[in-house]
Structure 1
Amino acid sequence: MGGKGMKPRVKSILYATDLSDTAREALTWAVSLAEKYDATITILHVMPDLIEEMSVLMGYDLESHFGAEDLQAFGEEGRSAVVESIKNRIRSVCKDVQNEAGCSLDLENIVIRNGHPVREIIDTIQEGDFDLVVMGTHGHGLLDKILVGSVARGVVEKSPIPVLTVRLPS
């Protein structure tokens, strides 16, 4: 990679979204960079494992309290609903962005993972052959502030590749 005068190679961009307005803003950057570098974009959404997160938050094991089967069923249903809402959200963002930039996003290139957002994003980076991560800096709402804290900060600290974090313009 190194050496003087070497240009960074950007062929594959990982765009991590929490479906917030900030993530939407970050998508416009991802699309613009993909066009400039003729790169592909992989879209990643991590469904926080709410049971795990709430258990950590409350200090006891919810799973034993509720019964794992019930929670599992809930997870499967929730997952397909999320996939659909992500695709719809991305389609609508693409339409908006297309008018500005032209949107070369492959809607099949969507990865949905379950678990802790920082951990899942880092795992995805390590498993894939990405050159750059693009993401918004924070989610929305109180729950996100409590649960997610700063996902962007965690990813920046742990990512082996460059991370572009995007704030909502104030």
Structure 2
Amino acid sequence: MLPEVTRILYASDIQQGARPAFRTAVSLCGRYHSHITFLHVVEPVRGNAERLVKSMMHEDASLQALHDDSLGKIRQQVRDRVERFCREELAAETMLEQGQLDVRIEEGTPWKTILAVADEMDASVIVMGVRHQKSLLGNTSSKVMHNSKRPVLVVPL
């Protein structure tokens, strides 16, 4: 049995099929009347990819402005997806109340960023999905589990 759950960190790759893990996080939230932070981590563009992007840009364009604009668009897309999911798939009695859900988009190495955000918000539990059928855990979920100081709930997708 989990201890008192007041803050849930749900880490999502926002890929197709991630809904079962989010449903689990919402279910925990309803059970414990807690708060969910929906986190998506974007890996930064580095090395050859960065040089390729720079070579394709107009001279007057700023790579930082393009980066910031792209992150803003991703933030809005994730917020829209989460709101649509809540509207379409959650029963009225399990709907999250205003202020019970935050959406965060962070940039960094996924497993390290998940742990950093969990520490920052003092998460009671980290909920995340795993897709790999052949191995027990994916790379990110495995690293989160092995390095976390708090419970991690891994939901097969």
Bucket of the pairwise TM-score, normalised by the shorter protein: 0.7 to 0.9
Match in the other structure for 2:14: 19
Coordinate RMSD, CA, aligned: 2.7
Shift of 1:36: 0.6
Indicate the residue corresponding to 1:32 in structure 2. Answer: 27
**How big is each residue's C-alpha offset from its partner over 1:49-103, in whole Å with a ceiling of 9 and x where there is no partner?**
1x13xx3xxxx68459938x84322210111101111011101211233228622
Q: Secondary structure at the match of 1:44?
A: strand
Residues 34 and 100, structure 2, Cα contact 8 Å, conserved in 1: no
Q: Is it true that 1:72 corresponds to 2:68 in the alignment?
A: no
Gaps of 5+ in 2: 56-60, 133-137
1:132-151 mapped onto 2 (5 Å cutoff): 132-138=125-131, 150-151=139-140
Identity, in percent, stands at 29
Query: How does the TM-score come out when normalised to structure 2?
Result: 0.79
Verify the 8 A CA contact 1:11 1:38 in the aligned structure 2: yes
In structure 1, distance between residues paired with 2:100 and 2:83 = 8
CA pair 15-108 structure 1, distance change in 2 beyond 3 A: closer
TM-score normalised over the length of structure 1: 0.74
When residues 108 and 165 of structure 1 are mapped into structure 2, their CA distance, relative to the original with a 3 A threshold, is closer
Aligned counterpart for 2:142 among listed residues 150, 153, 159:
153
Per the TM alignment, residue 107 of structure 1 is displaced from its structure 2 partner at its CA by: 7.5
Question: Quick one: structure 1 residues 9 and 118, their matched pair in 2 at CA, closer, same or farther if it must change by over 3 Å?
Answer: same
Q: For residues 70 and 108 of structure 1, do their structure 2 counterparts lie closer, same or farther at Cα, with a shift above 3 Å needed? A: farther
Secondary structure of the residue that 1:161 maps to in structure 2? coil
User: Does structure 1 retain, via aligned residues, the 8 Å contact 2:35–2:101?
Assistant: no
